[in-house]
Copies of this chain bind each other. A is one copy, B any other.
């Protein structure tokens, strides 16, 4: 059993902890956290050993009745591998700690690519992390793009990709984030950093990206154009390609899923923990071919899509399983199967939902 330490227990860290716990070949050694808030209480209630980020912060945890197992330094010493889910930039500051304990570590996409030897996506380049001590799971957006581009790259070849990323302003719990009433070019320079970030996974890929931010908290949405090298044999050929991918969900028209809100509602109905959507969600009706130009729109759940990637990265670094084996086990243990519900293809009607009820007033 690989002992996994989670350093940083926020949006990503708490989800990775739960995902690691669900695996048969690894265990959560503990979680390190800075703030003694409701999330810390949740960690204690979930029976994760809680470590304070440092000794100065320990009293706050004790005051709310959380017994500490030690500090982050202790956690690193006691773990076989660390998942660093601290805020952007803090991971790089933590790397010397991991080196001092000779503990392999996985960083998140908010870090600069130089933080680790390899920028990782389970679908695209699992094997490259097998000899590494440090890997960076690329960001939610880059993860979504890597999964989407990999099968196109392998099957048709990619002449050029152009993507507009309409990004959510903050996560649901980030009360202080904006914008609140604007569509903000962010970054205003083109290409945005997302294109070069995709190139950390696909070094030869020609891709330009434009980034904006909007006042939503639910999901990012990508408007994608890929100029292919070879002509697909019609849109159905592309749909079939996507359907064969385990972490691409094609939303059928009948479902009445018309935005990120309904997508999240669908995930809630399916019993997903925290309503998490680990898959890319591609609107089936949007998949369009104009010659070699492929277009579509996909939604990316920024809190969730990197979670299975972190689990797979643990296996890559520690040599537990190879890529296909790891992805398959991760999918099975987490229940990555929304496509099963959404994939009811024996339909001809193009019905839109008309029924909505809530106790409104």
Contacts and interface: CB of A to CB of B under 8 A. Distances in A.
A273 interface: yes
Interface string A324-361: 00000000000000000110101111011111111111
B355 A35 contact: yes
A123 interface: no
A257 B173 CA distance: 9
Contact of A261 (B33, B197, B217): B217
A97 interface: no
Contact of A355 (B34, B109, B139): B34
Contacts of A261: 171-175, 217
Contacts of A10: 355-358
Contacts of A352: 35, 37
A234 interface: no
Contact of A273 (B109, B175, B271): B271
- Of the four ranges (under 10, 10 to 19, 20 to 34, 35 or more), the interface on chain A belongs to 35 or more
A298 interface: no
B60 A349 contact: yes
Contacts of A347: 63-65
A115 interface: no
Interface string A127-170: 00000000001011101000000000000000000000001000
Interface string A22-63: 000000000001111111011001000000000000011001
The majority secondary structure among interface residues of chain A is: loop
Interface core residue of A13, A59, A268 (most chain B CB under 10 Å): A268
Contact of A173 (B45, B262, B270, B302): B262
A38 B302 contact: no
A232 interface: no
Oligomeric state, in copies: 2
Interface string A98-111: 00000000001110
Nearest to A354: B35
B348 A63 contact: yes
Contacts of A12: 357-359
Given A60-B351, A64-B344, A355-B33, A360 B39 contact: no
A259 B175 contact: yes
Contacts of A197: 361
A13 B64 CA distance: 38
B42 A139 contact: no
6 contacts: A11-B356, A12-B357, A60-B349, A85-B357, A110-B360, A172-B265
Given A38-B342, A65-B346, A65-B347, 11 more contacts: A10-B355, A36-B349, A37-B352, A38-B256, A38-B266, A38-B353, A39-B355, A63-B254, A64-B346, A85-B357, A174-B261
